[in-house]
Amino acid sequence: MPELGQRYRTAFAASAERGDGPLLFPFLTAGFPTPAETPDLVRAALRGGAAGFEIGVPFSDPLADGPVHQDAYNVALSAGATLETALEAVRVAREASPDAPLTLMGYLNPFLACGSASDDAVQAPGAAVGEPLEALARRAAEAGVDGVIIVDLPVDESDAAREVLARHGICLVYLLAPTSTQERIDAVAQRASGFIYLVSLTGVTGAREQVAQDFAAFVRRVQARTDTPLAVGFGISRREHVLEVGKLVPAAIIGSALTATIGSAPPDGRAAAVERYLEVATGRRSEETDE
Amino acid sequence: MTRESGAFGPFGGQFAPETLMPALAELEDAWADAQADPDFRAELDGLLRDYVGRETPLTHAPRLSEQLGGAQIWLKREDLAHTGAHKINNALGQVLLARRMGKPRIIAETGAGQHGVATATACARFGIECIVYMGEEDVRRQALNVFRMNLLGTEVVPVKSGARTLKDAINEAIRDWVTNVRNTHYLIGSAIGPHPYPLIVRELQSCIGNEAKRQLEEKIGKLPDVAIACVGGGSNAIGLFHPLIDDHVRLIGVEAAGEGLNARHAATLSAGAPGVLHGTRTYVLQDEHGQITEAHSISAGLDYPGVGPEHAWLMLTERAEYVSVTDDEALDGLKLLSETEGIIPALETAHAIAYASRIAPTMSPDETILIGLSGRGDKDVEIVRDALASRER
């Protein structure tokens, strides 16, 4: 079993040494538009310059997601996507890239459904979600997952879940938001491993015209309390955003814009569209020559 | 990180996106502060008396009792509260709370439209901006309530995602809250959601049980043997049950069995499994992959695949029983109360009537059933007319 968070540490250290800007972790919805296409899209993103992945596990009720991901999850679920689709995407990525940090991202209930709940009356709710995650942790570790992001598991309820995942060598990756208080930033800083996911804006997922104005101040507030690497997501869609946030944090996550790119590409051109999108976002291809 | 987590045993808690967590803490503090402030209680009590018309009556149902031939049935008449249902108790309390927190904008979800109307009413009374999210399917089913909200100056936003019912309206309200959390209070209408909502809603609805208890003692000098209420999210049920928790009273929550527990239904406690939905750990209708399944009930207000976490706890500890009643049985219950007592109940409430009519004949005439008559049926007459017509065909 690898040491907890080792692939994240190696990737962030190597990137800092190269000094070539932020790592790009695309968010790919497992099973969108179909489970059969996901492996090709994973490989295409790696060819385009993805440094790792957030593999999104679709959920019926994604209350922190904007319309693009809501639609993508519905399409994926209708096409038969399950947690296994996401784990298969991880296996494909792991085979293609032994060192890339691979993170599962989703909502708590599909992760819980992997295992079974026992309703011990003395448990608190946060403790009660630990044991059912044992099955997820085991399957995820076998597939090669390095970390798990659970959108609706705040630090307050996370201790049992984090311990279960850690037993299988998997980081629980925490989120912080511009509304997070000092007290909450400290609570996350004490528990964080892998990286901390900064939600760049006060809102749901989805592409925005600009990076949120108060983002720099938010990054400084977090950096004052922790040395854990930071990655930024929500609203990041263009090369210029990547360059802008790259001055502040070592990694960026692109989600909805990539999903929209897949959704609007012709059925036989989706992998090519993903590869090209990543090439532009990582700066390997300039937008002017994007023809 | 030492805040009280709002746990009901293994149920409840705060399973919300990080962006909302500080707002939940702010709400918890504001609620504690308000409860300790005699002026807050006095203002709310004054509104409940002079604006809502509390206390609501406790009505004996002599012809219903006689026809069923068993226990004496008493009705706690929340249908006579302003706006026609218990929802106003919670809406007014939370609007006062929002004003205290200095939040100028209120959002809410609604299924049947009763909570939306109550929230629109309370916001109109205090001149606060109000936006109500409502599933497109419910907008169609409850068009008159949409118009009522509009008359009250509220914007109703139809929600087109998912099954386009209550669950999807809650998702959309939470998305709005995630975006506008700094100036917005989310006025949840049932005893669901992350802590402190289930506690706040329970406390604001406990007037139902507190009054009924006192009224029944005055009228017959004793507590009921059985208290029955319908359960969707479970706000009227917890309001009726909570003051009776320490008493020797059988508590029965009635869920919507829809077309039957083997078909489409909304009987979360009877046929669901533990999970996490809308910020709380509770019983949830879900498939083997943890995807939330669509609920179905003839009553839009019960059409929800989750349930308040305290009900999950009361079931686990066997302090309350949870049963279910089909669409058809609820229709029969609605007709029965209308014909015997001249009271047309809401379809939600009709589920409680239907279950009472099942157990009353097995009880003796010196025993008492207390039913939470959570709302009036005016909003449902069209649905009932169509359902009865299609049944006769």
Q: Tell me: the pLDDT tens digits for B180-203? A: 999 999 999 999 999 999 999 999
Look at residue B1 and tell me whether its pLDDT is greater than 50. no
**Distance between CA atoms of residues B181 and B26, nearest Å:** 11
The DSSP-derived string for B342-391 is: S--B-HHHHHHHHHHHHHGGGS-TT-EEEEEE-BBSGGGHHHHHHHHHHH
Q: What are phi and psi of A245, to 5 degrees?
A: -70, -25
Residue A289 to chain B, least CA–CA distance (Å): 36
Q: Is the pLDDT of residue B141 over 90?
A: no
Q: How far apart are CA A153 and CA B276, in angstroms?
A: 10
Mean pLDDT of chain B: 96
Residue type, B334: L
Contacts of B23 in chain A (CB under 8 A): 179
Question: What's the pLDDT score for residue A215?
Answer: 94
A151 to chain B, any CB pair closer than 8 A? The answer is: yes
> Does B291 contact A119 at a Cβ distance shorter than 8 Å?
no
Within 8 A of B19 by CB-CB distance, chain A residues are 64, 177-179, 199, 202-203
Residue B277: closest C-alpha in chain A: A109
- DSSP states of B283-321 as a string? EE-B-TTSPBPPP--SSGGG--S---HHHHHHHHTTSEE
**CB neighbour list of residue A53: distance below 8 Å, 6 or more residues apart:** A25, A26, A27, A28, A42, A45, A89, A90, A93, A100, A102, A103
Bridge partners (DSSP) listed for residue A23? A251
pLDDT band at B174 (very low <50, low <70, confident <90, very high): very high
* pLDDT tens column, A15-61: 999 998 899 999 999 999 999 999 999 999 999 999 999 999 999 99
pLDDT-based confidence at residue A122 (cuts at 50, 70, 90): low
Give the model's confidence band at B161: pLDDT under 50 very low, under 70 low, under 90 confident, else very high: confident
Are the CB atoms for A249 and A22 separated by under 8 Å? yes
> Which residues in chain B are closer than 8 Å to A119, comparing Cβ atoms?
9-10, 274, 316
Task: Return the number of other C-beta atoms located less than 10 Å from residue A234's C-beta.
Answer: 27
Q: What is the pLDDT of residues B7-40, one digit of tens each?
A: 999 999 999 999 999 999 999 999 999 999 999 9
Q: How many CB pairs under 8 A join A and B?
A: 159
Give the mean pLDDT of B135-155: 93
pLDDT at residue B4 greater than cutoff 60: no
> Under DSSP, is residue A290 helix (H, G, I), strand (E, B) or coil?
coil
**What is the pLDDT, as a whole number, of residue A291?**
46
Cβ pair A152:B16 closer than 8 A: yes
CA distance A243 to chain B (A): 25
Provide mean pLDDT across the span B85-101: 97
- Mean pLDDT over residues A138-147, rounded? 98
Closest partner residue to A82 among B162, B289, B292, by Cβ?
Answer: B289
Residues A121, B317: C-beta atoms closer than 8 Å: yes
Of A125, A151, A183, which has the smallest distance from its Cβ to B13's Cβ? A125
Q: In chain A, which among 162-191 make CB contacts under 8 A with chain B? A: 174-181, 183-184, 187
> How do the residues of chain A divide into helix, strand and coil, expressed in percent and rounded to 5?
50, 15, 40
For residues B115 and A282, give the distance between their C-alpha atoms in angstroms, rounded to a whole number. Answer: 49
Contacts of A156 in chain B (CB under 8 A): 1, 3, 5, 14, 21
In the predicted structure, residue A290 carries a pLDDT above the cut 80: no
User: Of the candidates B233, B228, B232, B211, which has an alpha carbon nearest to the alpha carbon of residue B308?
Assistant: B233
Q: How far is CA B193 from CA A107, A206, B14, in A?
A: 15, 24, 8
The answer to whether the CB atoms of A109 and B274 lie below 8 A apart is no
- The pLDDT, as a whole number, for residue B203 is 97
Is any Cβ of chain B less than 8 angstroms from the Cβ of A60?
Answer: yes
Partners of A125 on chain B (C-beta within 8 Å) are 5, 7, 10-13, 15, 280-281, 309
Which of A286, A177, A13, A108 lies closest to B277 in space, CA to CA? A108
Query: Tokens representing B377?
Result: 């049926």
- State residue A121's pLDDT score: 61
Find chain B residues with C-beta within 8 A of A107's C-beta: 276
- What is the rounded distance in angstroms from the CA atom of residue B319 to the CA atom of residue B321? 7
pLDDT at A117 over 80: no
Give me the pLDDT at residue A181, please: 97
Shortest Cα distance, chain A CAs vs residue B208, angstroms: 28
For residue B139 the two structure tokens come to 């907008």
Given a cut of 50, is residue B340 above it in pLDDT?
yes
State yes or no: pLDDT of A179 exceeds 70: yes
pLDDT at A1: 61
Before A291, cis peptide (omega within 30)? no
Q: What integer pLDDT is reported at residue B2 of this predicted model?
A: 37
Q: Nearest-CA neighbor of B233 among B306, B289, B163?
A: B306
What average pLDDT does range B354-360 have in this prediction? Answer: 98
The reported pLDDT for the residue numbered B364 is 97
Once rounded to an integer, what is the mean pLDDT over residues B162-170? 88
A283 in contact with chain B, both atoms CB, cutoff 8 A: no
Chain A CB contacts of B291 under 8 Å are 59-60, 77, 109-110
Give, in order, the Cα–Cα distances in Å from A218 to each of A155, A222, A225, B70, B193: 18, 6, 12, 66, 28
Q: Which are the catalytic amino acids of A? A: 54, 65
Which one has a higher pLDDT value, A119 or A72? A72
pTM here is 0.96
In angstroms, the separation between the Cα of residue A129 and the nearest Cα of chain B is 9
Q: Active-site residues of B: which are they?
A: 87, 109, 374
State yes or no: pLDDT of B5 exceeds 80.
no
Q: Which residues 109-128 of A have a C-beta within 8 angstroms of B?
A: 109-114, 117, 119-128
Beta carbons of B178 and A77 less than 8 Å apart = no
* Integer-rounded Cα radius of gyration of chain A: 18
Whether residue A263 has pLDDT greater than 50: yes
pLDDT in tens, A231-246: 999 999 999 999 999 9
The distance of B315 to chain A (nearest Cα, Å) reads 11
DSSP B215-252: HHHHHHSS--SEEEEE-SS-HHHHHHHGGGTTSS-EEE
Residues of chain B with pLDDT > 70: what percent? 99
Q: Is the distance from CB of A102 to CB of A46 less than 8 angstroms? A: no
Question: Mutation test of the interface with chain B: which of A57, A59, A63, choosing the one with the most B Cβ atoms within 10 A?
Answer: A63
For chain A, list the domains and their CATH numbers: 6-281 (3.20.20.70)
